[in-house]
């Protein structure tokens, strides 16, 4: 199977106290994809990040998903 991550999932994790590793660990064996529009929204989020924590979370996703593009 696989996992498609949408923007609402990214926002939910950002608003929670969980890390990306904690959230994605149950799907560690599954292929994970990020739609192009969600990736673009993520890049905007990195640019508009108002705290270092938000910036770092967005960079984590960008780093992990840019390897697949």
Domain that holds residue 38: 3-66
- Sorting pLDDT into bands at 50, 70 and 90, what band is 39? confident
The pLDDT of residue 50 is 82
Rounded (5°) CA angle 59-61-63:
65
**Residue 64 has which token pair?**
């992990």
Domain count, the chain: 1
User: Percent of the chain beyond pLDDT 90?
Assistant: 1
Cβ distance 54 to 45 under 8 Å? yes
Q: How confident is the model at residue 69 (pLDDT cuts 50, 70, 90)?
A: very low
- pLDDT at 66 (0 to 100): 61
Q: Provide the pLDDT for residue 49.
A: 78
């Amino acid at each position: 199977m696989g996992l498609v991550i949408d923007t609402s999932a990214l926002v939910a994790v950002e608003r929670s106290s969980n890390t990306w590793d904690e959230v994605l660990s149950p799907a560690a064996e599954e292929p994970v994809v990020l739609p192009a529009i969600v990736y673009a929204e993520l890049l905007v989020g990195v640019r508009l990040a108002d705290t270092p924590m938000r910036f770092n979370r967005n960079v984590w996703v960008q780093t992990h998903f840019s390897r697949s593009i």
